Structure 1
C-alpha cells in the first residue's frame, strides 16, 4: 500500500523548535517513509522562515521565553517578536513579588530581586510591543511601584482591559497619571480601595468608554455611592466572593441605571440591624431585591451551602484570602468577559 503524506516543512520546524523534538530522530523516521529527500532538499535556515510562521511560534512562548533574547537573534526574528498579534495581551499573572509584611506604609517590603525581574520584563515587553497592548494583566500579589505603573501606562496607550495589582506601593499621583494615559480603557479588575473617589473620578474624566468593573474585595456604601456618582453608565459589575450589605446592593440597583450584568455570586449577604445585633446574614435574596434586579439582563447569584466557593468566602469571613487557594482561582468569574 502506498502512503501519501502532505508534508509541510514549516510545520516540522515549528514542532521541533517549540517542543524540543530531536530533528535527527525525526529525519530518520521521515527517511523510512520515503520523504527524507524532500526534507533535505527543502532545508532552510531559521531566519528564512516566513514571518507569519515565526509569529505563530512566538505566540506559543510565555513572557519569560519571549524576553530571553529571542528578538536579538536576527532582524527577521525581531520583526516577528514585535508583531502586534503577539502583544494584544501582556499577561504577567504568573509573576508574584517576593515580599514580607511590615507595620508601616506601604505595609510590604519587596525583595530587590523581584523588582529587578519585573522592571526587566516590563522594559523588554513594552519595547517589543510598540504600543500594541490591549489587555494588561497583573497578579494580585505583584507589588508594582509608581514608576513601574506610569512607565507601563505611557507605553500602552491602546489599553482597553486592565487587571490591577495590589495597591500598596501605588500612590495617588502615580495612579492618576496612569489612568490619564489609558484613555481607551473599557474594563477594569481591581482590589478594593479605601478612597475610591479620586480614582473613579479620573476614570470618569479620561475613559469615556469605560463600562466593566470587577472589585476583588469589599464594596461598602461609600464605594457604591462613588460608583453611582462617577460611573453611572457602568454596564457590567462583578462583586463576587466578598461581604455585601443589602442596602449597598439596593443602592447599586437603584443608582446604576445602565447596569446590565451584576454578579454577586458567593457573597456573604448581610443586613444591618440596630443594636445590640448590628447585623445578620441573609441566606436568600428577598423579593424586593429580585424585583429591582429583574430589569437586568443577568443577575448572577450563588448562596448555596454545598458550593465550595461559597464555603471559602464564609470561612474567610467575607474577605477571600486568594493566596490560600489553588493558583488561578482568583482569575475565575461567572461573567465571561471578566474571567481570565
Structure 2
C-alpha cells in the first residue's frame, strides 16, 4: 500500500474473540449452513464453546403425514435428509460442548438421528424432546444412559412413560426439573413419586390433570419447590377423551391450596379471560400447539423451564 494510505483489514483477519461475539447474533442455520463455510478462520471461530452451550433446533420441523401403521407418521425423505445434514454439521462444530438441546414438538427424529445426537452430546444437561413416534424404546433408554449429567427434561405426550422415568432415576442422579406437555394421571404421578423423589421443579401447564394425581405429587414429593399448573384443566375422576365439562374443577380447592402452601412457588391461573386457558379448554386439555403462535409452546411460568 502507498505511504499514508489507510490500513484495510479483512473480515477473516479479525481476532477470533471478536468473530465469536459477532457470530453469537446468528442462529444455528446461519452458522452451520453459511458462516462456517466462508473460510478457515471463520470455521475455527464457529467451533468456539461459547456458540454451543445451547443448540436450538426449535425452528426445524418435519414435513410429515399421519398414517395408520406404527409409527403412525410418514416423514418425507427431504425432511429427514435436512435434519441429518444439520445435525452432522452442528454436532461436528460443537465438539461435544452442548449442554442444552431444544427440539420442535413436530420434529420426528428417527433412531439413527437420535443415537447420533446422544453420542455427540455426552454432557447434555437440559433436553426438550422431539416427537417420540419414530424413536424406539431401547434407543431412548440408551441415550438416557449416556446423559448422566441430565438435570432437566421437557417431554411431549407419551403413551407409556414409566420406562423413561425409571431410566432417568437410575442414570441421572442430578435430575430435578421436569415439564410434561400432555395429560397427567395417577399412574404418571405415582411413577414420578416413586422414582424421582428429588424433583424440585414440575410444570404441567396447559394439560389435563387428574386431581388425585396432583394431590399425590403435593403429598409425596418432599423436595418439590416449584409446581406450575397454569392454564390446565383440573379433572375430578379419571381422564376421559373427550374431557367431560362437568368434571372440570374451576380452581384449586382449599385442600390443594393448603398442601401447596409449603412450596416456594405454586403457579396457577384462574382468570376466565385468559387466552391460554381458553385454548386449553378448547383443545380439551391436549394442546394442539400447531394452531397457535410459533414459540408459544416454549413459554413457561416456571422460569427455569422457559425457553
TM-score, normalised to structure 2, is 0.94
2:169 matches 1:215: no
Q: Distance in 2 between matches of 1:169 and 1:207?
A: 24
Task: Give the equivalent residue in structure 1 for 2:195.
Answer: 230
Q: Say if 2:247 is the partner of 1:286.
A: no
* 1:53-68 mapped onto 2 (5 Å cutoff): 53-68=18-33
TM-superposed deviation, 1:57:
1.7
**Cα distance in 1 for residues equivalent to 2:224 and 2:65:** 39
Give the corresponding residue for 1:161.
Answer: 126
Runs of 4+ off more than 6 Å: none
State how many pairs are aligned. Answer: 300
> Highest Rg: 1 or 2?
1
**1:267 aligned to which of 206, 213, 232:** 232
Is residue 50 from structure 1 mapped to residue 15 from structure 2 by the alignment? yes
Structure 1 residue aligned with 2:41, among 73, 76, 83?
76
Task: Please give the residue correspondences for 1:142-181 in structure 2 after superposition, counting only pairs within 5 Å.
Answer: 142-181=107-146
- Specify every segment of 5 or more residues in structure 1 that has no aligned partner in the other structure, as ranges: 1-36
Q: Is the 8 A contact 1:217 1:242 kept in 2?
A: yes
The separation in 1 between residues aligned to 2:108 and 2:264, in whole angstroms, is 36
SS of 2:236's equivalent in the other structure is: strand
Secondary structure at the aligned position of 2:178 is classed as: strand
Tell me the residue number matched to 2:218. Answer: 253
Any idea what the Cα deviations from partners look like across 1:167-224, whole Å, max 9, x if unmatched? Answer: 1101101101111111111111001222111111111111111010000111111111
- Give TM-score, length-normalised by structure 1: 0.85
Q: Aligned partners of 1:272 and 1:135: how far apart in 2?
A: 37
Q: For 1:297-336, what aligned pairs fall within 5 Å after superposition?
A: 297-336=264-303
Q: Does 2:69 match 1:104? A: yes
Displacement of 1:75 in angstroms is 2.7
CA contact (8 A) 1:260 1:297 kept: yes
1:132 matched residue in structure 2: 97
**CA–CA separation in structure 2 for the residues paired with 1:125 and 1:337:** 25
Q: What is the rounded CA distance, in whole Å, between the counterparts of 2:14 and 2:247 in structure 1?
A: 66
**Cα distance change on mapping 1:272 and 1:56 into 2, 3 Å:** same
Measure the CA separation in 2 of the matches of 1:138 and 1:99. Answer: 16
Quickly say closer, same or farther: Cα 1:78–1:246, change in 2 above 3 A.
same
* Unmatched tracts of structure 2, length 5 or more: 239-243
Any conservation in 2 of the 1:234–1:256 contact (CA below 8 Å)? yes
Aligned to 2:150: 185
Structural RMSD (CA): 1.7
Shift of 1:279: 6.2
Tell me how far apart the structure 1 counterparts of residues 219 and 157 of structure 2 sit (CA, whole Å).
22
